Structure 1
Amino acid sequence: MRETAIKRFDLTGRLALVTGSSKGIGFAIARGLAEAGAEVVLNARTASALEEARAKLAAEGFKVHARAFDVTDAAAVAAAVDAIESDIGPIEILFNNAGMQHRAPLEDFPLDAWERLKATNIDSVFFVGQAVARKMIPRGRGKIVNIASVQSELARTGIAPYTATKGAVKMLTKGMATDWARHGLQVNAIGPGYFNTELNAALVANPEFSAWLEKRTPAGRWAEVEELIGAAVFLASDAASFVNGHVLYVDGGITASL
């Protein structure tokens, strides 16, 4: 029997790991995947914040687990992925969402912040993506979605190193797809625009920046995290079975306009 269009978006029975998911974009994506039927493993470094997020989703009736580990530590990542597969089940969906920001003039940018940005925004995508792909490849299927950014395409003053890391995420996504598509994996990215999150709290609170953003964005406003859910479910589902190496920008049109 031919599968219906809506059924292709159904994630029932699938296990998803979402890194950096105790709050913000990661938490919204985790909730969206759960709403589409997935069983979800939340990840963050802080166990207390992670448990609070897990309890919140569990109270809404979702099947959810919490695993605290550092995504910038390759050995910890490998051990955690092994444990999830052994204790919970095969990871069929991975969202590499963990990330950080640091704002400073490029000529004064601290070296320690540069190293933290690279580790959190690039190394984690490689470490977790590789560890999970090694499990997915023998099974011949899997979905990996990396969180890129409009800064994968566009620069802005004060965040050049962040822009560099998100450009790298875009190209690592394409490289992952090129290597792993033949094994039945789909590897794509979501490029969020300017979202109202804790990471952007200082910008949201700045009237001058918000006014600039509203003029610069064709949609004329900040985005809310729930507006990422449709793209996340699509790329995690059978509806995206022939989508590979693509960056889906959810940005209100900012990358389409001058």
Structure 2
Amino acid sequence: MAILNGKVGIVTGGGTGIGRATALAMAKAGATLVIGNRNAAKGEEVVQTIEQFGGRAIFQQTDVSKPDDVMSLVQRAVTEFGRLDLGFNNAGMDGEQVPLHEQDIDKASTLFDVNIKGVFYCMKYEIEQMLKQGGGSIVNTSSIFGLNGYPGWSLYVSTKHAVTGMTKAAALDYAKRGVRINAVGPGPVETPLLHEGTGGDPHSYAAFVPMGRIGQPEEIADAVVWLLSDEARYVTGHTLPVDGGVCSQ
């Protein structure tokens, strides 16, 4: 198991699904965490769960589409724990599943604010802090939708391609400055988001996956913890599909 002992990290969208599972996995690997989430009750529940098994975490209500919220989240980590070593930029939304010409402009703007600008804001403020202290490691949540195209999902696909591209280019910016930047590309995973997006039947996506099943949040979390850890010290600019083989089709 990858080790994060002595590291301080941020997890956005840490209240449910992949964010929650990864926060728990990071804490179990030894990291001290600041959980950012829009829903305070869910974020506080994750903190309580981490504390129950002896981990350290605090919660700060955060909307990643607001740069001041993100800056405050990073400042909270430094104020409370003295540094920031890890960033898991996971907060996101899925948008509408309709052909491009039917996409609503206002909803599209919100999608871009969260999925693209939100990742930019997180990386900007995390990297500023990491450069001050000599390095760090960041993982962004992209998607198989950031590696392939899928009908009906043009805008969501565009946002996740943006995350993949931002990850690549930023990794090159800081490759010699001690900051590694990678991404995960989850396939269908049993989360509240997929549950809602499939009308309550997330396992209907199993036929789409070569392994014949959808993933569990913990399977994404394990990949994120590895990418954040020193075990992945020679990996940067990579988007790792964790998808049961979907992207190999």
Pick the TM interval, shorter chain: over 0.9
Q: Quick check: 1:107 aligned with 2:97?
A: no
The residue correspondences of 1:15-164 to structure 2 (distance < 5 A) are: 15-105=8-98, 106-164=100-158
The answer to whether the Cα contact below 8 Å between 2:83 and 2:133 also exists between their aligned partners in 1 is no
Contact 2:95 2:107 in 1 (8 A): yes
> CA RMSD of the aligned region, Å?
1.6
Amino acid at match of 1:70: D
Match of 2:206 in 1: 214
1:93 offset after TM fit, Å? 0.4
- Deviation of the 1:233 alpha carbon: 1.4
Greater CA drift, 71-80 or 111-120: 71-80
Post-superposition shift, 1:158?
A: 2.2
Q: Secondary structure at the match of 1:66?
A: strand
Match of 1:3 in 2: none
Residues of 1 paired with 2:36 and 2:239: CA distance?
Answer: 23
Map Cα deviations across residues 149-186 of structure 1 (whole Å, 9 max, x no partner). 00012222222100000000000001110111111111
Structure 2's unaligned 5+ residue stretches are none
Q: Distance in 2 between matches of 1:203 and 1:78?
A: 31
Equivalent residues of 1:43, 1:50 under 8 A apart? yes
Corresponding residue SS for 1:248: strand
Task: Measure the CA separation in 2 of the matches of 1:33 and 1:95.
Answer: 10
1:240 equivalent among 204, 209, 232: 232
1:89 Cα deviation after fit: 2.3
Query: How big is each residue's C-alpha offset from its partner over 1:13-60, in whole Å with a ceiling of 9 and x where there is no partner?
Result: 111100010111100010111111111111112222211221122223
Residues 203, 210 of structure 1: 8 Å contact kept:
no
Give the corresponding residue for 1:188: 182
Between structure 1 and structure 2, the one with the greater Rg is 1
Change beyond 3 A, Cα 1:59–1:187: same
Once the two structures are TM-superposed, the CA of residue 102 in structure 1 deviates from its matched residue by 1.6
CA–CA distance in structure 2, aligned partners of residues 214 and 127 of structure 1: 34
**Offset of 1:86 from its aligned partner?**
1.6
Q: Tell me which moved more, 155-164 or 140-149.
A: 155-164
Q: State TM-score, norm by structure 2.
A: 0.94
Q: How many residues align?
A: 248
1:157-176 superposed matches below 5 A: 157-176=151-170
Alpha-carbon distance between aligned partners in 2 of 1:255 and 1:230, rounded to the nearest angstrom: 19
Q: 2-side partners of 1:214 and 1:222: how far apart? A: 5
Q: Secondary structure at the match of 2:59?
A: strand
- What is the CA-CA distance between 1:196 and the residue it aligns to? 0.7
The equivalent position to 1:225 in structure 2, one of 201, 210, 217, is 217
Give how far 1:242 is off.
1.1
CA contact (8 A) 2:40 2:61 kept: yes
